[in-house]
Structure formats: C-alpha cells, structure tokens
Amino acid sequence: MSVTTARIMRPDDANIVGNVHGGTILKMIEEAGCIIGTRHCNTQSGDRCAAQLARVERTDFLYPMFIGEVAHVSAEITYASKHSVEVQVHVMSENILTGATKMTNRAALWYVPFSLKNVDNVTEVPPIKYASPGQEEEGKKRYEAQKMERLETKERNGELLMPVSAPDRTTKEPYTVGFSQSSLIHLVGPSDCTLHGFVHGGVTMKLMDEVAGIVAARHCKTNIVTASVDAINFHRKIMKGCVVTVSGRATFASNKSMEIEVFVDADPLIEAEKGKYRAVTAFFTYISLDKQGKPLPIPPMKLEGDGEQRRFEDGKMRYLQNKAKRLADKERQQ
C-alpha cells in the first residue's frame, strides 16, 4: 500500500533566495503519511477513523529544493502494530526543465487511528502483509524502539519557556541564547485541521521550522537552511479553536551547524478551563550558507548560566552521536 503526491514549489514555499523551507517539505511528508495511514486504517469494517501523527523519526535534509521544482513525495506503510502504523516516506526534487532529480529526504512517521465518532477512541489497525518474516521482525524492533523513546521525551515536556516574540537586541548581547530566542503565535484555522478537527502534524512542524529558522537567522545573520530534524513526538493533539505558541531557543552550535530546541504549547481559546498544555517538543538543526550556497561557519554561542551550559552539553552529545551514526551508515553502505 503506497501513495505518491507531487506539487510544484511556489514562492510562498521558500525563503527570499528561493530555498524551499524545511517546514514546507515536512508538511508535504505528513500529508502523504496521513493519506496512506487513514486509507489503510479504513480498509476493514468497523468504526471510520482518521490517522493522527504520533511521531516522526529523525530526518536529514540531504539536498536543497528550489522554487519551480516539483516535489515528489512517496509514502508506504512498512509496519503495522495493533494500534499504530509506520509510514516510510521518500521525497524527490525534480527540475522539470533539465530533468535532474535528487532524493532530498527520507522520513519515517508513526500514525495512530482515532475514531471519527469518538475522537478519544483509538481504533484497531488492520494487519499488513510483509515480504518476509524478517521484514516484520525488523519493523517490530523499530516499533519497540520508538515506543521506549516516546516515554523518555515525556519528561522534558514539563519545562516552561516564556514566549519571547519581540526581539530585545538592546539588552541582550549578540550570540547569547536570549538574543536569538523567538516565539510565534498562530490561531488554528479550518485549513490547518484534519477531518476530525485536530491540527495536522505537518502544520505544526511547519510552524516549528518557521520559528527555528528565525532563531537561526537571528544568530547567524545569513541565509540559513534546515539540515535535519530530530525525532518529534506528538504527545497531545491540538484541537480546533486553539492558539498555538511556538518558541525556539539555540541549544548548541558546532562550527558547521546549530541546534535549536522548539516547544509547542496549545491554549484552548474558548474552553479556558482546559488550560494551556505542551503539545510537542523537538530539535531542529540548521546550517548557514553564503550567497553561492556554500556553507559558512556558525558564530560560536555565548552561554549564560548553568541551564544553557547543560543544554549545550546535551546538544553536543546529540551532535556527536548523529555524526557517529552517519559515519557508521556510510561505512555499512560501502
């Protein structure tokens, strides 16, 4: 079971120099995943349901995409547990004039089906056929691994972060965390929502990339592009009629890239008694480019206080782990 979507990249999808935003691509990836997930979960009789994004595995942006190119997004169901499906997605960019194509992203998403009658009910997922028992075994391992990781990130979610939207560049020193910290606030509209009135995971990721991009641009003062996104867990759904606050702060910078932590808080506008809640957190990594698209060094961060120092060390560990993993993957492929 697979689906491929395609769309031309438009000016509003990209920054001023024509680079398509990472958030645009994440939104397309999630839309393809939502289609295939919802379709599969409705292939048997029983309650009608819609697939809701629960998690996105770490993804790298391998090549840039540009305005006028066609993005092809192919999604395939690769594992089904009792209550969730894994969808693997490939994104290709195509220059329709020269015919040049490039694989720009690979991603794996986990969806959970919720009943359309009662949106708190998770429905059962129909089984899928595997090419081999080994394939099912591999999928099960990925399923168990992500389940464990999801539990771990729940803890980090308690942290509070004051939204700082208006830049305070007079009192904050350049290259400090406070100097580039940013927030944006979005009122959920009908186009942001799925069939059962919850915000599409892709819409949330697009907002996250937008705020992380502002943080990176404030820090680097150059053309910055999304290099990778760490695994994102969608702990709680965001309802229609919410105000979403998305905040980002720099956590780590190597010479080549910088990491930005993003928090998404949802606030029901009408039912105030339900209270504000943390919906998502994630780490985005950005690189800085010159006018020819060549990488530029990232200005070092000026850390203030123990919290920033600790987060920097945590970020460094993630950076080194990812680097080691990339090298191992490369060797395995050779």
CB burial of residue 61 (10 Å; 0-12, 13-18, 19+): buried
Identified binder of a second copy from the candidate list 1, 62, 116, 161, rule CB under 8 A? 116
Q: Which is it for the CA torsion 212, 216, 222, 225, positive or negative?
A: negative
317 contacts a second copy (rule: CB under 8 A)? no
25 contacts a second copy (rule: CB under 8 A)? no
C-alpha–C-alpha distance, residues 258 and 300, integer Å: 9
C-alpha–C-alpha distance, residues 211 and 214, integer Å: 5
Identified binder of a second copy from the candidate list 39, 156, 310, 323, rule CB under 8 A? 39
Active-site annotation holds for 15: yes
Outline where 192-275 has alpha helix (H). Answer: 201-220
Q: How far out from the chain centre does Cα 218 lie?
A: 21
The interface region with a second copy, picked from 34-42, 136-144, 278-286, 297-305 by CB under 8 A, is: 34-42
CB-wise, 60 or 267, nearer to a second copy? 267
CB burial of residue 84 (10 Å; 0-12, 13-18, 19+): buried
Q: Which two tokens stand for residue 229?
A: 């996104």
C-alpha–C-alpha distance, residues 107 and 245, integer Å: 25
Upper half-sphere CA count for residue 22 (Cβ side, 13 Å): 28
The interface region with a second copy, picked from 36-44, 139-147, 231-239, 310-318 by CB under 8 A, is: 36-44
Segment holding 181, helix H or strand E: none
In the shown chain, the binding pattern of residues 169 to 208 toward a second copy, with x for contact by CB under 8 A and - for none, equals x------------xxxxxx-xxx-x-x-------------
Identified binder of a second copy from the candidate list 31, 57, 86, 265, rule CB under 8 A? 31
Q: How far is the CB of 189 from a second copy (least distance, A)?
A: 6
Active-site annotation holds for 209: yes
Q: How far is the CB of 324 from a second copy (least distance, A)?
A: 32
Applying the rule CB under 8 A, the residues between 147 and 176 that interact with a second copy are 163, 165-167, 169
Q: Considering the candidates 15, 95, 157, 322, report the single residue annotated as catalytic.
A: 15
Identified binder of a second copy from the candidate list 1, 60, 62, 74, rule CB under 8 A? 74
- What number of chain residues touch a second copy (CB under 8 A)? 65
Q: How far out from the chain centre does Cα 294 lie?
A: 25
The amino acid at 103: M
Q: Considering the candidates 192, 209, 230, 265, report the single residue annotated as catalytic.
A: 209
C-alpha–C-alpha distance, residues 241 and 229, integer Å: 27
Q: How far is the CB of 266 from a second copy (least distance, A)?
A: 13
Q: Which two tokens stand for residue 123?
A: 């429905």
| N-term to C-term CA, the chain | 30
Applying the rule CB under 8 A, the residues between 287 and 306 that interact with a second copy are none
C-alpha–C-alpha distance, residues 334 and 325, integer Å: 14
Q: How far is the CB of 212 from a second copy (least distance, A)?
A: 12
Residues 39, 1: contact at Cβ < 8 Å?
Answer: yes
CB-wise, 265 or 319, nearer to a second copy? 265
Catalytic residues: 15, 209
Task: Return residues touching a second copy (CB under 8 A).
Answer: 3-8, 10-12, 15-16, 31-32, 34-35, 38-39, 42-43, 48-50, 67-68, 70, 72, 74, 92, 94, 96-99, 101, 116, 163, 165-167, 169, 182-187, 189-191, 193, 195, 210, 213-214, 217-218, 221-222, 241, 243, 267, 269-272
